[in-house]
Amino acid sequence: MLALPETLPVDRALSFKQIAIAILLSAILLILGTACQGPAGPDGKDSRLTDSLPPQIEWISPEPGVEVDSSLLIQVHAFDNIGVYRVSIYIAGFEYAGNLVDTAAGVFSILWESGNFPEGPYPLMARVWDESRQTGTTPVRIIQVNHP
Q: What is the pLDDT of residues 108-123, one digit of tens each?
A: 988 999 988 999 999 9
Find, among 88, 78, 145, the residue nearest to 118 by Cα: 145
Dihedral angle sign, alpha carbons of residues 46, 76, 109, 95: positive
**CATH T-level assignment (fold) for domain 52-145:** Immunoglobulin-like (2.60.40)
pTM given for the model: 0.63
Strand partners, 91: 94, 124
Interior CA angle at 126 toward 125 and 127, to 5°? 130
Q: What is the pLDDT of residues 60-88, one digit of tens each?
A: 999 998 999 989 999 999 999 988 888 99
